[in-house]
Structure formats: C-alpha cells, structure tokens
Structure 1
C-alpha cells in the first residue's frame, strides 16, 4: 500500500473512532530526510482518499509541488516534530478525552504540563521510566507557526520528553517510528485521559 493510501485509510479509521470529526486533525509520515506526506487541509477525514494528501518540505512546511492541494493548517507542527526528533510519523487528533484534559490543564498565556502516573498504559509510550510522565500543554495561539516554534524549542530543550503533546482547547499529537506506533501511542494517551477524567482529575495534575 502506498504512503498516501496508508494515510487515507488511517484517517477514515480515526474518523470512525470519533477522533477526527469533520475536517479536523491531520496525519503525516516522513518519506525522506527532506520530505513528509501529510493530509490536505479542509478535507473530510471520513472520506479521505490518496489524492487528499500532499508532499511537503520538512524544512519549510510548504508543498513540494505547486499544483498540490493546500497542506494541513498544522503542517508546521508536524515538521517541527520531524526536525526536533527521530519521528517517522505524526498523528494529530481532536480526540475528546485528551482535548478535555488539555483544556483543563492548559493556560492561554504560557506552557503548562499535565502529569500522569501509575497507569499501566504509560508503558505504551516507550518511556525510560514508564511509572510516570509529564506531558507539555501548549497555548492554543491563532498563529499556528508560533505553536510550532514553541513545540520545536521545547523538544530540543527536552530530548527525553514523551512522544506526546497537548494543545489547550485543541487536541492531542503523538509520534513514533512509524504510523502504527504513533497511532498506538495516541490510543494509549486518549485512554489514560479518559480514565483520569473518570477519576475526576485525581490521577493528573
């Protein structure tokens, strides 16, 4: 299956799970040191096809081919992660429980964090110490490249950070060595957030 077909099938599956409502969210895979394939902007994720993906430059976040569809609005966040980490795939969703946690824990003015501990599902994130982790929650600026710059700076300054970030009022982003790993990490974090909310916040701070 081609990378574009993989992204299209992935988007449809995540849409069915309620993680990519409407045209929200985006998925990318790195194709080379210089390029990544990402879902196009404004496309219905429940009906995405291979033609709804676009090749972008990891350096500039711009479409490689001028006739290509417009890249996702969050392309700059994906490429920031590719530049700052060894990620080969990035998934950004509006999954409800993680978005709720991000909104509760987030701060419109500055970076905050949410701490999770003792959940068995933390082992799914590939952490050095799977007993606990601190996930950054970035302010939801209207200027997405500003978010991307803050993400890249944070990841460079925190090389041992978990492969997860939240954006206040916006959603969840995970990454990994391939799409399957990034997606599995997404599922782990969404489940942890659901459990935390069921516990009325007692499992995170």
Structure 2
C-alpha cells in the first residue's frame, strides 16, 4: 500500500525524500534499490518518514515512503509498504543524537574506504585529519576526527545496537559512519544538512583514496 500523507506537512516531507533520493540515484550513490533516506516530520518529531524497502531509487515518488516511530523504527500506520531494511539504524541515530534527517548511500569512495578499513567482528576507527572539508561536518574541533566503521552484520538490529552504543559513548564524534563493505550514513538537523555532510564524507574518502597514503586505523 502506498503512503498517503494526511497533512500538507506530511506531503511536503514525502516529496522532499523522493526528490533527494532521485538526485542521489543520478549521482550513482543509490544504484538500483540501494540506499535509504529518512526525515522526522516537522510537526511531530516522534514520527519519521523513510523510503520503502525494495524501491528503485531512480523512480521513487512521494508515495514510496513509510511512516515509522522515529525512536524504534516500527511502522505506525497499518497496511503500509515495508520500511527500508536499515530503518533500525536510522532509529538508533535519532534516538541518540536528536538528528532530524538521516541518509544512507552507497557512494563509491566511501564504500571503498569502508571495504578497506572494515572488519568482520570489530568496530574500526579511521583517523581523518588536516583536510579543509572537515569543517563541513560541524565538529567541535575541525582539525581531525575519528570516523567509525561498523561490521556489516547480517542482522541489521545488531548493527543498530552497535551504532547506538558507539554514539552514546562518543557524543563528540562526526555526524556520520561507515559500514564495512556497504556504504556511508550521515545525518543532520535537516535533509539539506545531512546531504551536505554526506557529500563532505564522500569527498574526504575520495581524497584519502587519491592520496594513496597509509590509513590510520584503530580497532575495538
């Protein structure tokens, strides 16, 4: 069943999700049905809209979204399409950080770094420093940051538990993360801010790949 927003705010939010998703598809960051985007409803931040599972991101419309509880990821309306398989990760970010928008993409350079750095059973931390683009992440200290890279467990709830625990313990970390062999997730106070931060993370990963220098990684 397609999502049918009951308010003008819901309709506008659903359209924003669809428009951004198609933009990221056109960039090659959400090929096929990959990737997902969510947004807390401005008039009710306890609820969020997220892209439905299995939808072609190049053809996504405002009706291809699902309304969920922002803190749990559970669908809030009966008869909706199935939410993205990674909804629980979005919910973990909302629960711990208070973000209002989350984007998960398969942008190529971030995915390459996630492939090189990620481990099967431990959280890795990638040191990123000196690049001017770090200022685009809104860090307390833009000189450097440690970007977490999480294991890509088959059980998505296990990933979301890892993410929630890590973010709760490191409140001063970057507004983004990598998933081993999988991609990048970024968040912010709006879809525009989340997109800008996603772009910065992808560009930073591109610079790391092009620099061909040894990556500074620690593991826990």
Query: 1-side partners of 2:122 and 2:111: how far apart?
Result: 17
For 1:84-99, list aligned pairs within 5 A.
84-99=96-111
Q: What stretches of structure 2 of length at least 5 have no aligned partner?
A: 1-10
CA positional deviation for 1:77: 0.2
Tell me which residue corresponds to 1:116.
128
Tell me which residue corresponds to 1:62.
74
Tell me which residue corresponds to 1:27.
37
Contact 1:196 1:204 in 2 (8 A): no
For 1:2-151, list aligned pairs within 5 A.
2-31=12-41, 32-151=44-163
Query: 1-side partners of 2:30 and 2:173: how far apart?
Result: 25
Instruction: Between 108-117 and 57-66, report the one with greater CA deviation.
Output: 57-66
Query: Cα deviation per residue 1:108-151 (whole Å; 9 max; x = unaligned)?
Result: 01111111111110000000111111010000000001000110
Query: 2-side partners of 1:176 and 1:27: how far apart?
Result: 12
CA positional deviation for 1:185: 0.4
Contact 2:45 2:100 in 1 (8 A): no
Query: TM-score, with normalisation over the residues of structure 1?
Result: 0.97
Contact 2:112 2:181 in 1 (8 A): yes
Tell me which residue corresponds to 1:192.
204
Query: 2-side partners of 1:76 and 1:201: how far apart?
Result: 35
CA positional deviation for 1:33: 3.5
Q: What stretches of structure 1 of length at least 5 have no aligned partner?
A: none
Equivalent position SS for 2:58: helix
CA positional deviation for 1:97: 0.3
Query: 2-side partners of 1:190 and 1:27: how far apart?
Result: 16
Query: 2-side partners of 1:101 and 1:187: how far apart?
Result: 15
CA positional deviation for 1:203: 6.1
Query: Cα deviation per residue 1:71-92 (whole Å; 9 max; x = unaligned)?
Result: 0000000000000002000000
**Total equivalences in the alignment:** 205
Contact 2:126 2:215 in 1 (8 A): no
Query: 2-side partners of 1:129 and 1:80: how far apart?
Result: 24
Query: 1-side partners of 2:151 and 2:23: how far apart?
Result: 28
Alignment counterpart, residue 155 of structure 1, candidates 167, 176, 182: 167
Query: TM-score, with normalisation over the residues of structure 2?
Result: 0.91
Contact 1:61 1:79 in 2 (8 A): yes
Equivalent position SS for 1:51: coil
